[in-house]
Amino acid sequence: MIRETLRKLLFGLFAVLPAIASAHPGHYHPPGEDDEFDQVRADWLHLHGWLEISLAVTLVTSVLLFHFSKNRKVRIGAVIVFGSSLALLASS
């Protein structure tokens, strides 16, 4: 029951992740005035490209799949995806 709830929660998080990542109300700012959304975008999202963010999300997802899955094939696949995502993330 807890695993099913976690799966639904994780799926919901990934479903709305693009909306969260590009969240900005789009209201007018006078020159020199920033709000918290501008700060988040300047500090986090502009330092890394979408490739690096996607690889990091894939890496975290593979760790969660390895932890929560009892299927041996899924766990082996998660380890392979973890290793390849880590290698690509380190090289980019």
* Domain span including residue 60: 50-92
9 occurs within a structural domain: no
- Could you list the pLDDT tens digit for every one of the 92 residues in the chain? 788 888 888 887 777 776 666 655 556 667 777 666 667 666 666 656 778 888 888 989 999 999 999 999 999 999 999 988 888 877 76
The reply to whether 15 falls in a domain is no
Q: What is the number of domains present in the chain?
A: 1
Q: Is residue 10 part of a domain?
A: no
Alpha carbon separation from 45 to 60, 65, 72 (Å, rounded): 18, 25, 35
User: Are 62 and 75 contacting, i.e. CB atoms less than 8 angstroms apart?
Assistant: no
34 in any annotated domain:
no
Q: Of 47, 60, 57, give the one whose Cα is nearest residue 17.
A: 57
Whether 89 maps to a domain, the answer reads: yes
Please state the pTM of the whole predicted model.
0.49
Residue 67 is assigned to a structural domain of this protein: yes
